[in-house]
A and B are shown apart, each in its own frame.
Chain A
């Protein structure tokens, strides 16, 4: 309730149009079907069950209307939830801690990336994934630095932001990204950035 109002006011200020603000998963599905928006922002937990209704609603929306971007917020993130989010998706998905909403500028940037079909995963989840150290599959071919770059890509960062984070030049980042695409055998023409991130996340989650 509190959160929904706060979120609506942030979106308003940023010039986004809030079509509907609803309190449970069934109503959410109903309004999305009637009047499809660009992006749906949903909590993982929703009434009545307060378990993972939001996730299930997201999966249903993705199945019916794949062009709608979905940003899932959670009080608590765990990489284990990622697999259910990423099962069918081809991008246009975001999974963030609720705390991130407070960093308004970054949050709005994440929202835009999801709307454009990108993938945004909370840094906390990426940290959990990195901690897992699973040495198999195509990712095994990547160097630690390339993995780092890929992890930052998964957070939804663009090259400039990655370069800033790693304190290297943007050209260096571009080189790493090129190597990643090559090692993951991603052809030109696809949205390679999204594919790389998805390979990474699916592999790890």
Chain B
């Protein structure tokens, strides 16, 4: 049987009375008494010290530290709430930006709204919640205890129960078996409701709010985008390094060899220099090819359409390109679309037995859509294109998607979609 994930769900299940939940509720309510008392003592002491010290600045400073006490209350109470909320309450605090020292960290937490809310919860806990918990759970526990002990007490003493007086063991037992179960049922549900209410209060004040959840999601998305962006920057850096460093040297080398060819008389040494020249040129061509796969220059300089046309031109089969893009898109999006087309055309040439291929790109309601369609035999397996798997990750981070439709017999159509902006 599945464990309920909250006190309310536990109350609704038929075996509530024989489960651990009534006892958990007692534990939760009764444990709020010492913590509530401690909280209120610390708060009052804090206020008092601040008041006494307020003539000197330190008293005011102490007041500003109160939200930090809220943070501590939040940590403790979120843990305690696990008694009746097995899934726990998620922390509402934002992830701390990297590279802060301790002072900045404290300041960051102090300024969070969640800290103030937790402090407010602390005040409620210290004034009202612990008292109400003690009154309900305490009283109920005492009555339950007395009822259980009734046979023992009645043996030695007399017990006044309203109109009845119990003064023998048998009367005590009778009381236990008649009144006990009724009281257990009523009190367990009552206590369950109070505990559930308290847990709900804790969750409402100590848990993340809608906007804080949204912020966390946004933060995650941003950090993934940052990662994609970092890759892009790194690729650009490598490309520049290869172009401006290695390639320049190789060009210099071919120039020197070219000059040497002019001076050398026909013979073995000239033959070798010509050969070296040819090899240096082959290295240059290889390097150009490698750089194109890393970070194509045309993409940066002239944009997606020019770069896609270039890839299409290099493809061994005829590729028709139709693109309707009004303006340049952010670099990571252009790069994702470019590598999508490049990878897709590569796959078509390798696997599809196609005679021609069609690349289309357009903007549909703020989203970039690119499709690559071939007239091949179809039946492409999405698991086969390892290059495409990497692209899916990349598109995912941008908030985009990749679809493959390849019925047996064709045609095969790869389609990618991505937002046109990075911030939504």
A-B contact pairs, 18 of them (CB 8 A): A2-B249, A10-B259, A45-B244, A75-B247, A75-B248, A76-B291, A78-B302, A78-B310, A80-B307, A80-B309, A81-B302, A98-B247, A99-B251, A99-B284, A104-B258, A128-B313, A128-B314, A133-B318
Interface code A27-47, partner B: CB below 8 Å = 1, 0 otherwise? 000000000000000000100
Cα(A7)–Cα(B259), bound, Å: 10
A50 near B255 with CB under 8 A, answer no
**Min CB gap A90→B, angstroms:** 23
- B252 touches A (CB below 8 Å): yes
Cα(A96)–Cα(B258), bound, Å: 16
**Min CB gap B335→A, angstroms:** 16
- B383 touches A (CB below 8 Å): no
Stretch at the interface among B58-66, B205-213, B293-301, B372-380: B293-301
B259 near A13 with CB under 8 A, answer yes
**Residue from the list B248, B257, B258, B314 in contact with A3, Cβ < 8 A:** B248
A80 near B252 with CB under 8 A, answer no
Given contacts A10-B259, A128-B313, A133-B318, contact A102 B251 (CB under 8 A): yes
Given contacts A104-B261, A131-B314, A132-B313, contact A78 B252 (CB under 8 A): no
Which residues from A are CB-within-8-Å of B117? none
Residue in chain B with minimal CB distance to A128: B313
B259 near A101 with CB under 8 A, answer no
- B57 touches A (CB below 8 Å): no
**Residue from the list A2, A7, A80 in contact with B310, Cβ < 8 A:** A80
From residue 271 to 325 of chain B, which have CB atoms closer than 8 A to chain A? 277, 280-281, 284-285, 288, 291-292, 297-298, 300-302, 306-307, 309-310, 313-314, 318
B258 near A9 with CB under 8 A, answer no
Ordered nearest first, which 6 A-B pairs have the shortest CB separation? A102-B254, A80-B306, A102-B258, A6-B255, A2-B252, A104-B258
From residue 130 to 167 of chain A, which have CB atoms closer than 8 A to chain B? 131-133
B255 near A75 with CB under 8 A, answer no
Which residues from B are CB-within-8-Å of A3? 248, 251-252, 255
**Min CB gap A51→B, angstroms:** 6
Residue in chain A with minimal CB distance to B240: A50
- B235 touches A (CB below 8 Å): no
- B56 touches A (CB below 8 Å): no
**Min CB gap A136→B, angstroms:** 13
From residue 10 to 35 of chain A, which have CB atoms closer than 8 A to chain B? 10, 13
- B262 touches A (CB below 8 Å): yes
Which residues from B are CB-within-8-Å of A105? 262
**Min CB gap A87→B, angstroms:** 14
Interface centre among B255, B259, B298, B313 (most CB of A within 10 A): B255
- A170 touches B (CB below 8 Å): no
